[in-house]
Structure 1
Amino acid sequence: MGSKNEPAFILSSVTDISTVEKHLASLRDLLQHCINDEPDTSSLGFLAPLTDHTADSYWLELTSTVTGPDATTTLLIATPPGSDKVVATVQLARMPKETHTFKGEIRKLMVHPDYRRHGLGKWMMDEVERIAREEFALEMLLLDTSKETPAREFYLKTGWTEWGICPNYAKSSSGVKHDCCFFVKDLV
């Protein structure tokens, strides 16, 4: 993502609680920006205004799924070189059912507003897809997003196939029900 000598961002996989604790303030800030700045187009599962307590609780509770030998979620974070500020995240959730182990779900791709429109979201998605394919031998990825969010166009442009729309599926962060688009991507 950066020059040949220095990357624009450092991508890390969160594997322990100390990493979450180290980055908790910037993880909270990122989540709050993604919820509170544009609540009409945010579809991340939280109502605005998102409090510090709720944001911190989300990240701390998530650690139980990303740490240890029974981890079912991979959490990737992007930071600028020389900084601990998390500017983007994405999650890969693996399916525990034996008949579903070939697929995963992409959750909560978030890019800080100050870092959008520079390819960071695409880079994060490319990396999480690579990890799904190479580290977990997944064959299919799924995700969903609001029909009214700019994320829908992003996924359509990056090779995802929209396979359905469910009316009034969820609420935006402003509390208004919206249609949800479902996407799939084959990795084989």
Structure 2
Amino acid sequence: MGSNKDPAFVISPVTDASAVEKHLTSLRELLQHCINDEPEISSLGFLAPLTDHTAISYWLELLPSVIGPGATTTLLIATAPGSNEVVATVQLARMAKETHSYKGEIRKLMVHPDYRRHGLGRRMMDEVERVAREEFALELLLLDTSKETPARQFYLRNGWTEWGICPEYAKSSSGTKHDCSFFVKSLV
């Protein structure tokens, strides 16, 4: 397992379909771990048990927004030391409206259970914030997460401001409705 300063993790953007094909098995497994292992605290938009087909379809259907001339989403992946296994991902969605072009939304930060609590989530967030600021000149980032998950405390510890809570906003992977915390972070 890595440490907070472990240079062996490689964080990189997905820039073509071959990268998804190369990593499709570990991307599927990562998503399934994040949904199926603890469905009562997962709030990634899928119900457990997440099947192989649904997990693979998710990654393949995401591709058009990630690659090509009309790409509006940046997908960052982290690979494990000494392998091609994807152990973490995060997405940066840029807003299509002209009047919203200064902001983006962080989506689906996922860290494989074997690599949690060792700084990899923080490294992923640091990198996606850097990409937002330096590559897209974004000034503001938004995200949401279940109020009842450890993710809420993670974002609070990492400089995000909770600006609101909406009761029963979404369902966990177990199907239980939960309150949702909304966060904002200024990049300027």
If the length of structure 2 is used for normalisation, what is the TM-score? Answer: 0.97
Alpha-carbon contact 2:3-2:120 (below 8 Å) kept: no
2:173 alignment counterpart: 173
Identity of aligned residues (%): 81
CA distance in 1, matches of 2:73, 2:124: 15
1:95 alignment counterpart: 95
- Which residue identity lines up with residue 74 of structure 2 in the other structure? T
SS in 1 for 2:86: coil
1:104 alignment counterpart: 104
2:43 alignment counterpart: 43
- Which residue identity lines up with residue 129 of structure 2 in the other structure? E
- Which residue identity lines up with residue 97 of structure 1 in the other structure? K
SS in 1 for 2:166: strand
Q: 1:178 to 1:16 in 2, by over 3 A?
A: same
- Which residue identity lines up with residue 116 of structure 1 in the other structure? R
- Which residue identity lines up with residue 121 of structure 1 in the other structure? G
**4+ residue runs over 6 A deviation:** 1-4
- Which residue identity lines up with residue 49 of structure 1 in the other structure? P
SS in 1 for 2:42: coil
- Which residue identity lines up with residue 80 of structure 2 in the other structure? P
Q: 1:33 to 1:99 in 2, by over 3 A?
A: same
Alpha-carbon contact 1:44-1:108 (below 8 Å) kept: yes
- CA deviation map 1:65-108 (0-9, x unaligned): 00011100000000023311000000000000000000000000
2:66 alignment counterpart: 66
CA distance in 1, matches of 2:90, 2:12: 11
CA distance in 2, matches of 1:148, 1:135: 33
2:83 alignment counterpart: 83
- Report the aligned-residue RMSD: 1.4
2:130 alignment counterpart: 130
Deviation at 1:178, TM superposition (A): 0.2
Unaligned runs of 5+ residues in structure 1 are none
Unaligned runs of 5+ residues in structure 2 are none
Residue 152 (1) aligns with residue 119 (2): no
Count of residue correspondences = 187
1:182 alignment counterpart: 182
CA distance in 2, matches of 1:148, 1:40: 9
1:30 alignment counterpart: 30
- Which residue identity lines up with residue 176 of structure 2 in the other structure? V
2:55 alignment counterpart: 55
If the length of structure 1 is used for normalisation, what is the TM-score? Answer: 0.97
- Which residue identity lines up with residue 105 of structure 1 in the other structure? E
